[in-house]
Amino acid sequence: MTFRPDRPTGCLAPVLLGEVVSDPESIRAMARGNGPYFMPARYLIDGQAADQAGDGVRRGRSDVPAHLVGPTWRGDWAVRGRAVVPGAEALLHHEGFRAAAVSMTGGTEVVPEQVFVNLTTPSRSQGFSHTDIPEFVGVNRTNAPGWLLQAMGVSRLFEDVRITIVTAVTWFHRGERGFFRYWPEGRDSGSLRHEDVWNTGVVGDNDFMHHQVEGTGPRGAEPPEGLTIDTALDHDGSRWVVVDDGAVLADFDEAEVRLSLSWKAKVYRNGADRREAESGVGGIGLDEVLARFATVEDLDVPGGVPVNPDEALVHDGFRSTLITRWHGYRSD
């Protein structure tokens, strides 16, 4: 049985953190040295496992909804419990994050999985909030694309096999604005704004708790023109540059680029529950995922929900239908 903490208001109460690291400038230095960065919507549109979708490899132009295109870029620093850039190991095993996860959930077994950064150039508010990509016993980032995992989570058809995931979001930004808004009592209730975005954090139930990046930089700022899902962000040694197909669309100084760092961990009631989940006890496969979606009477997939998992993962109609119906985004 999966660990399902009580969520009386729809999500677990978040925990606020003060000083996150002793040398916050080192996080900005790590970011400068580990580009280029990709758009996080890659997780949702590519028909690959979620932890491979954003590897920065150009796979041809993709037509995606405008709200999924920048100006925020992502870089993975730890994946599946393994640091992939120098300096990420200490962040992956951050004691403050672990303690907050235990406090929030009541679980005793915390398994750090991911560390990633988001970098945002000056722009207006995103105009929408979102929830994060979840995982399930048997169906996770290693064998399912992000769009499928997101649909599984938002649909609430798979709560019996959902894995509890805690997310710490921290900030290292001294530029204008770039505040963090979140809805700890549900999206239809009031929101809170976190304004101290230098070396602080909010540890939350982000697979359930809607959250949003507010406007970054001067009021009225607009994203660079010409952004596509393939546009990258990198640091050239002196400035941050926005690049698409070899062309520089814009450049920014250090203070103009908002940096947030996120940590994710799976949390289990105890070691026995963890061992069961990791061995797949009580889990499901992709065939069961398709079977459950097929029970939704008004799910209008062209030709019907595929029954073969290999076919389903490359079925554009199935993917488009799920992304439209259960995407995790909500407009203001």
For 30-66, the pLDDT digits (tens) are: 999 999 999 987 766 655 555 554 554 444 555 666 7
What is the pTM assigned to this prediction?
A: 0.92
Domain presence at residue 301: yes
> For residue 137, what pLDDT is reported?
98
- Measured between alpha carbons, how far is 128 from 114 in angstroms, rounded to an integer? 24
How far apart CA 240 and CA 224 sit, in angstroms, is 13
Residue 309 preceded by cis peptide, ω within 30:
no
Largest pairwise CA distance in the chain: 56
Domain range for 93 = 15-331
In eight-state DSSP terms, residue 309 is H
The answer to whether position 132 is within a domain reads yes
When pLDDT is averaged across residues 309-322 and rounded to a whole number, the result is: 95
pLDDT, tens digit, for every residue of 71-127? 999 999 999 999 999 999 999 999 999 999 999 999 999 999 999 999 999 998 877
CA distance to 16, 57, 149, 226, 246, per residue, from 249 (Å): 37, 19, 33, 7, 9
* Domain annotation covers residue 7: no
- Which CATH number goes with the domain that contains 21? 2.60.120
Q: Is residue 5 part of a domain?
A: no
Q: In the structure, how many helices (H) and strands (E) does the chain have?
A: 9, 15
Q: Is residue 3 part of a domain?
A: no
Supply 246's token pair.
Answer: 């070899």
State the pLDDT confidence band at 28, using cuts at 50, 70 and 90: very high
Q: How far apart are CA 106 and CA 7, in angstroms?
A: 12
Question: Would residue 4 count as lying in a domain?
Answer: no
Residue 8 lies in a domain: no
In a domain, 52, yes or no: yes
- Chain segment 149-171, per-residue pLDDT in tens: 999 999 999 999 999 999 999 99
When divided into structural domains, the chain yields a total of: 1
199 and 171 in contact (C-beta within 8 Å)?
yes
Q: Which of the residue ranges 44-48, 83-87, 210-214, 304-308 would you say has the lowest mean pLDDT? A: 44-48
pLDDT score, position 45: 64
